[in-house]
Amino acid sequence: MKKKFSNYFFLPILLMSGFLTETLAAPPTFADLAVLLAKGYFKSDVAGDASLEQCAAFLNRKGVCFSLFDLMDSEAKVTQEDFARVVGQSTLLFLGEADLENGCIKKPIDIKTWVDYCLLNDVDSIFLWRKFVHRMEKGSLPEVQRFFGNG
């Protein structure tokens, strides 16, 4: 019997600092996603004062991969497919079904896209994406602002 993974698994990641209501300052970055994921779900393994670099290194060691080029580019924006990949990789990791290829958790062979993986495994990546975008409406996280010299 295949294990199901609840959408509520990811809500602590997206809600760790509460909802913001102002207009979207800029689309969310990979740096924002890495910090939210590391400090939200892996908070027992990642220090609360961890930097962007520490968060990204932790996730990459686990196989939830972030490109250094994307992390270092404040103009590289997360797409829904990118977001679904991170959610899908995290789901596989926590289900104990992660299969690594070149250090990254790979998509199951019988699945076309990470969005498909999420849909087929009852993970509503669209709902979670909206919560992520909503969370980032006011701008980047302090760790990301410090990294890019804005905080």
Reported confidence tier of residue 138, pLDDT bands at 50, 70, 90: confident
How many angstroms separate the most distant Cα atoms in the chain? 49
Res. 98: pLDDT tops 90: yes
pLDDT tens string 16-41: 434 333 344 567 899 999 999 999 87
Owner of token pair 């520490």: 54
Whether 10 contacts 41, CB under 8 Å? yes
Looking at residue 1, what is its pLDDT?
Answer: 45
Q: What is the distance between the alpha carbons of residues 85 and 93, in angstroms, rounded to a whole number?
A: 12
Mean of the per-residue pLDDT values of the chain: 83
Select the more confidently predicted residue: 133 or 41.
133
Residue pLDDT, tens place only, 140-149: 889 998 988 8
- Distance, first Cα to last Cα, the chain: 48
**pLDDT given at position 89:** 95
The answer on pLDDT for 14 being more than 70 is no
Query: How far, CA to CA in Å, does 102 sit from each of 32, 52, 63?
Result: 24, 22, 9
Q: What is the pLDDT of residue 4?
A: 52
d(CA 21, CA 113): 31
Please tell me whether residue 5 adopts helix, strand or coil conformation: coil
pTM for the model: 0.80
What value does the mean pLDDT take over residues 71-100?
Answer: 92
- Helices of type H across the chain: 11-15, 30-41, 52-62, 68-72, 80-95, 114-120, 125-135, 142-147
